[in-house]
Amino acid sequence: MTRHLDPIDLKILAEIQADGRITNVELARRVGISPPPCLRRVRALEEAGYIHGYRGLLDGRKLGFDVTVFASVHLASQADADLRAFEQFVRQEPMVRECWMLSGEIDFILKCVAPDMATFQEFVTRLTAAPQVRNVKTSLVLHNSKDAPGVPLEVLIPAG
Question: Quick one: 63 exposed, middle or buried, by C-beta within 10 A (0-12, 13-18, 19+)?
Answer: exposed
**Confidence at residue 1, expressed as pLDDT on a 0 to 100 scale:** 37
For the beta carbon of residue 114, count every other beta carbon within 10 angstroms. Answer: 21
Same domain, 86 and 46: no
In-domain check, residue 109: yes
Averaged pLDDT, 56-68: 95
Q: Which of 128, 89, 133 is nearest to 107 (CA)?
A: 133
Same domain, 97 and 134: yes
Same domain, 37 and 101: no
Averaged pLDDT, 89-113: 97
Domain hosting residue 117, numbered range:
67-140
Same domain, 47 and 100: no
Same domain, 104 and 134: yes
In-domain check, residue 156: no
pLDDT for 158 beyond 80: no
Same domain, 88 and 127: yes
- 108 falls in which pLDDT band (50, 70, 90)? very high
Mean pLDDT, rounded, of the chain: 94
Same domain, 49 and 105: no
Contact predicate 107/73, CB 8 Å: yes
In-domain check, residue 155: no
Total structural domains within the chain: 2
pLDDT for 42 beyond 90: yes
Residue 83 φ then ψ, to 5°: -60, -45
- 3 falls in which pLDDT band (50, 70, 90)? low
- 44 falls in which pLDDT band (50, 70, 90)? very high
- Specify the CATH number for the domain of residue 45: 1.10.10.10
When mean pLDDT is compared across 66-75, 88-97, 112-121, 149-158, the lowest value belongs to 149-158
Same domain, 83 and 116: yes
In-domain check, residue 12: yes
Sheet of strand 133-140, all strands in order from the earlier edge strand to the far edge: 96-101, 108-114, 67-75, 133-140
In-domain check, residue 89: yes
**Confidence at residue 149, expressed as pLDDT on a 0 to 100 scale:** 87
Averaged pLDDT, 87-94: 97
- Specify the CATH number for the domain of residue 131: 3.30.70.920
**Cα 34 versus chain centre, distance:** 32
Could you report how far apart the first and last alpha carbons of the chain are, in Å?
29
pLDDT for 86 beyond 70: yes
